[in-house]
Amino acid sequence: METLLQQIVNGLVVGSVYALVALGYTMVYGILGLINFAHGEVVMIGALTALQTLLILMGVAPDMAPLLKLAIAVLVAMPVCMLLGFLMERLAYRRLRGAPRLAPLITAIGMSFLLQTLAMIIWGRNYHTFPQLISTAPMQPIPGVFVTPVQVAIVIVSALVMAGLILLVTKTRLGRAMRATAENHRVAALMGVDTNAIIALTFVIGAGLAAVAGVMFASNYGIAHYAMGFMPGLKAFTAAVLGGIGNLGGAMLGGIVLGLVEAVGAGYIETMTFGFLNSSYQDIFAFVILGIVLIFRPTGLLGERVSDRA
């Protein structure tokens, strides 16, 4: 029982980070029909930029309050990632609008590996320890189940960010323009929406969320390195598909569900397969779920029909 509860806690924490990243995928897909393969790499750039900022801050002002340092790091990482998102859209994806499907996807894959390589050049191949500025001393709300303050902070912050995004999309003029563009570019343009600006903005918002998610990932695991974004990126994409791609609520639901399935699955896979498979197979869950969802319910949990778009 304690194992189950513990894995549910872990799953919720990881799941809420997946949800943040999944939002970036789903927004871009909703508007452009493009899988922005490089989105996971934006997460990585966010984490490493924050790390770099923290290291500088610790050198310049070692006495600063830890929370303030972390806040500054996030506030530096977000604009950097937003700029990156903007540049990707402007320099590569915009030129490929209207090209056959495979062209933007191949470009996005190239972009993903380009960002990884650049990060490798800047930060090297090593794993960097990410400073734990929020306490990691475990608390025991229920005996046998450990929760750290970092984990609590991650869940709260991502809930706040997601609530903010929903408000932005559903309640503001800008959000209405975004929804109109996702519905139909041309008609939205006829109604006076600057669709190019809206599409660029979508990339920028997604990248900002990815930056926050990157800092969360790095704080949760205490490490950051050049390839850290790839797997979470794929999993977040899976989460977006699971929830119904193009659907904001779906991305959040998908993220949480995927996090839970993965954590609980990893906790029990050894007993379930009689010791044949163990928790090193954890990464398989996401791919298996992705396959099953796409084959049996390509619309996802909450989405509309998309599988026929070629």
The only residue of 116, 148, 158, 299 in contact with another protein, by rule CB under 8 A: 116
Instruction: By CB under 8 A, name the one of 86, 146, 268, 281 that touches another protein.
Output: 281
Please tell me whether residue 280 binds another protein under the rule CB under 8 A: yes
Q: Tell me which of 150, 200, 212, 290 binds another protein, using CB under 8 A.
A: 290
Residue 257: CA atoms inside 13 Å, Cβ hemisphere, count?
A: 20
List the one residue out of 77, 44, 80, 50 whose CA is nearest residue 228: 44
Angle, helices 39-60 vs 102-123, to 10°: value is 20
Task: Give a three-class secondary structure readout of 72-128.
Answer: HHHHHHHHHHHHHHHHHHHHHHHHHCCCCCHHHHHHHHHHHHHHHHHHHHHHCCCCE
**Which of 115, 116, 114, 109 lies closest to 36, judged by CA?**
109
Residue 10 Cβ, how far from another protein at the closest point, in Å? 20
Binding status of residue 82 toward another protein by CB under 8 A: no
Among 35, 165, 228, 302, binds another protein (CB under 8 A): 35
* Minimum CB distance to another protein, residue 116 (Å): 7
- What DSSP line would sit under 181-238, residue for residue? HHH-HHHHHHTT--HHHHHHHHHHHHHHHHHHHHHHHHHHHSEE-TTTTHHHHHHHHH
Diameter of the chain measured on Cα atoms: 62
Q: Which residue's CB is nearer to another protein, number 271 or number 280? A: 280
Q: Which of residues 121-150 bind another protein (CB under 8 A)?
A: 121
Number of residues that bind another protein (CB under 8 A): 48
Among 12, 96, 159, 223, binds another protein (CB under 8 A): 96
Binding test (CB under 8 A) with another protein, winner from 8, 72, 159, 234: 234
Nearer to another protein, 115 or 252 (CB): 115
* Range in contact with another protein (rule: CB under 8 A) among 114-122, 126-134, 206-214, 257-265: 114-122
- Is residue 107 a contact residue for another protein (CB under 8 A)? yes
Smaller CB separation from another protein, 48 or 162:
48
For 114, other C-beta atoms within 10 Å of its C-beta total 14
Q: x/- site string to another protein, residues 240 to 269, per CB under 8 A?
A: -x----------------------------
Q: Tell me the angle at which helices 248-272 and 230-243 cross, rounded to the nearest 10 degrees.
A: 110
Query: Under a CB-based contact definition with an 8 Å cutoff, are residues 17 and 214 in contact?
Result: no
Q: How far apart are CA 119 and CA 110, in angstroms?
A: 14
- Please give the single-letter amino acid code of residue 152: V
Q: Which two tokens stand for residue 242?
A: 């699971």
Q: Is residue 164 at the binding interface for another protein, with CB under 8 A as the rule?
A: no
Shortest Å, Cβ 93 to another protein: 10
Q: Which residues bind another protein (CB under 8 A)?
A: 34-35, 92, 95-96, 98-107, 109-114, 116-117, 120-121, 234, 237, 241, 275-278, 280-281, 283-284, 286-288, 290-291, 294-295, 298, 307-310
